[in-house]
Amino acid sequence: DQQVKQNSPSLSVQEGRISILNCDYTNSMFDYFLWYKKYPAEGPTFLISISSIKDKNEDGRFTVFLNKSAKHLSLHIVPSQPGDSAVYFCAASDYGGSQGNLIFGKGTKLSVKP
């Protein structure tokens, strides 16, 4: 039962262009969403988060959009840089009902080409 789905296993983008990573979820109780970036042989690194009371959160080149009615969120990276090449995980939690245990998607491998 995949509560958090990242349907694109990989994405290739040219440097300077926008990268859009998508994530869908099924559990309507989720109220907090996070994006993590992971390089090989390292742990996931927190990137950006969004609460369900918002529909957009921006931090520098990274913007997360949340569409609650569609149970969909996306991460936009503008402009994309070669150093952004990594696996990106979407994660969700129902903080109201738990200690914040995260449910992760399978990840999308982003390759940014110079």
Partner 1 sequence: EPEVTQTPSHQVTQMGQEVILRCVPISNHLYFYWYRQILGQKVEFLVSFYNNEISEKSEIFDDQFSVERPDGSNFTLKIRSTKLEDSAMYFCASSMGQNYGYTFGSGTRLTVV
Which residues of the chain form contacts with partner 1 (CB under 8 A)? 32, 34, 36, 41-46, 49, 51, 89, 91, 95, 98-107
In the bound complex, what is the minimum distance in angstroms from residue 114's beta carbon to partner 1? 27
In the bound complex, what is the minimum distance in angstroms from residue 12's beta carbon to partner 1? 19
Residue 18 vs 58, nearer CB to partner 1:
58
DSSP string, the chain: --SEE---SEEEEETTS-EEEEEEE--TT--EEEEEEE-TTS--EEEEEEETT-SEEEETTEEEEEETTTTEEEEEESS--GGG-EEEEEEEE-TTTSS---EE---EEEEEE-
In the bound complex, what is the minimum distance in angstroms from residue 16's beta carbon to partner 1? 28
Residue 14 vs 46, nearer CB to partner 1:
46
Neighbours of 26 (CB within 10 A): 12
Residue 44 vs 110, nearer CB to partner 1:
44
Residue 16 vs 96, nearer CB to partner 1:
96
In the bound complex, what is the minimum distance in angstroms from residue 81's beta carbon to partner 1? 21
